[in-house]
Amino acid sequence: MGKPTGFLEVERKTISEKDPKERIKHWGEFKVHPEEEHLRNQGSRCMDCGTPFCHTGHLVSGMASGCPINNLIPEFNDLVYRGRWKEALNRLQKTNNFPEFTGRVCPAPCEGSCVLGVIELPVTIKNMECSIIDRGWDEGWMTPNPPKNRTGKTVAVIGSGPAGLACADQLNQAGHEVTVYERADRVGGLLMYGIPNMKLEKKEVVLRRVELMEAEGISFVTGCEIGKDVSSTDLKEKFDAVVFCTGATKPRDLPIPGREFSGVHFAMDFLTGNTKHILDTEFDGSLPVINAKDKDVVVIGGGDTGTDCVGTSIRHGARNVVQLEILPKPPESRQPNNPWPEWPKVYKMDYGQEEAAALQGADPRQYLVMTERFIDDGKGNLTGLEIIDVEWDKNEQGQFVPVKKEGTRRTIPAQLVTLAMGFLGPDETAGDQLGLETDPRSNIKADHGRFTTSVEGVYAAGDCRRGQSLVVWAINEGRGAAREVDNYLMGSTQLP
């Protein structure tokens, strides 16, 4: 612990994002890094507490508490405070394959369980993590490090999202020949097309890492959908082991009257189309087919994907953006039923809401609202929504359900609606060909910690196994699956 009194002397300050009114003018990343002195001061706030909950990675009340990949947070905070950046990078890479991803898009459950957070604002762990890895790239410390020896074993990884990339990286370090299959035209899965460029830059962050992995010996095959272009059975015969990391890609629909109207889209169709367009056109300023230019936009869903739809719509030049949330507005501070170290369920504005507020004067979210039907112009073109307020109450089975409040039904204008209500599970085709068992939620059945499916030599990790979750949990599962595959192929494993 570098400075025992740091947390008493230094206030939390992030200084990590560009001004909302400036960043909405382009698709560049809004992430910025402050000066070294600021970072070292923030690092001094870490108390090196006797029980660092920040890197425990437990589930508490069904939510992540601490870092799911067990980053050695007090250690790298102390090293930054001391100015020993390369050692901080080495410590960070012991547990995290891709700090440049988590440092940008992770909601930071580590900060939610920071011991300092019991009495003060928590340490700026996420900002510190991103600063360490970005400095590593800037200083030229991130160079290819291929394995010295090869085992002769081959592994196919289906899906190049965070779980697939983490799994491939670990297996390659163990000396296996790894081929990653991706159905899209670019590597990255969720990281490439599910998260907008301003939140996670594609060329300078995602593809930079992919190129490093290629230099270390990993093969990537894009535009190849397993189950259609290549059968899963053929893949299993060709490789010594197969790992499914296909994600949970089936979006939850909203089957209400008017769903078929032109202008109602799944959020991922909207976001994927936008990112692909700006990459294909090299940021020439043109807009994709599905765009929000001069439209009243309604985003249904209050999670990260909904936030991304808000930020994307604003950059398109939307006339107005409204975000509907069926749940109540969170409280301003922790409530007695949400004690530390649980994830703090408190009100906050993410980047999309900040940008909307900067333009429109207020948070775009409306809480406790349900959509009843979509309205058109008589020709199938969306013109608005009929919504109604709800309150949550228990039904006869004791379950909390939304109850409509009569007298609150009203209409709001919309020419574009994005459905951002989460995901239901993975596409089944590839798994069905191998006869993989699924759980009641349609995910591939495989126990966490073992990741073995009902077919020998076939494993599953990430959202296709656990359901929709965080990038950091995907990395956790990719690393865990790699360890089990290595043990299966070699009879033992030294992978962490």
Residue among 58, 86, 59, 88 at smallest CA distance from 73: 88
Q: Across the strands, what pairs with 386?
A: 373, 411
pLDDT value of residue 353: 98
Residue 173 in contact with residue 486, Cβ under 8 Å? no
My answer on whether omega of the bond before 341 falls inside 30° of 0, hence cis, is yes
Question: What is the pLDDT averaged over residues 201-213?
Answer: 97
Question: What is the pLDDT averaged over residues 46-60?
Answer: 88
| Residue carrying structure tokens 């359900």 | 401
Domain 154-249+424-490 has CATH 3.30.70.270: no
Provide the token pair at 61.
């009340």
Residue 477 in contact with residue 462, Cβ under 8 Å? yes
pLDDT value of residue 54: 95
Name the band, by pLDDT with cuts 50, 70 and 90, for residue 1.
Answer: low
Residue 132 in contact with residue 94, Cβ under 8 Å? no
Provide the token pair at 85.
């950046």
20 sits in the region (left: phi over 0; alpha: psi -120 to 50; else beta) called alpha
Provide the token pair at 157.
């990884």
Tens digits of per-residue pLDDT, 368-391?
999 999 999 999 999 999 999 999
pLDDT value of residue 133: 98
| Every domain of the chain and the residues it spans | 6-138, 154-249+424-490, 253-421
Q: What is the DSSP letter of 156?
A: E
Beta strands in 67-192 (DSSP E): 154-158, 177-181
User: Could you tell me which CATH number the domain at 6-138 has?
Assistant: 1.10.1060.10
Q: Which residues contact 285 (CB under 8 A, 6 or more apart)?
A: none
Pick the CATH number of 253-421 from 3.50.50.60, 3.30.420.240, 3.30.300.130, 3.40.50.300: 3.50.50.60
3-state secondary structure of 71: coil
Tens digits of per-residue pLDDT, 142-164?
999 999 999 999 999 999 999 99
pLDDT value of residue 3: 84
Residue 419 in contact with residue 266, Cβ under 8 Å? yes
pTM (2 decimals)? 0.96
Provide the token pair at 295.
């439209």
pLDDT value of residue 59: 87
**pLDDT exceeds 90 at position 15:** no
Name the band, by pLDDT with cuts 50, 70 and 90, for residue 33.
Answer: confident
253-421 matches 154-249+424-490 in CATH topology: yes
Question: What is the pLDDT averaged over residues 124-133?
Answer: 96
Question: What is the pLDDT averaged over residues 54-72?
Answer: 91
pLDDT value of residue 50: 83
Name the band, by pLDDT with cuts 50, 70 and 90, for residue 343.
Answer: very high
3-state secondary structure of 181: strand
Mean pLDDT, the chain, integer: 96
Q: Which residues contact 223 (CB under 8 A, 6 or more apart)?
A: 182, 183, 184, 185, 229
Question: What is the pLDDT averaged over residues 314-330?
Answer: 98
Provide the token pair at 51.
């029980």
Number of Cβ within a 10 Å radius of residue 392: 12
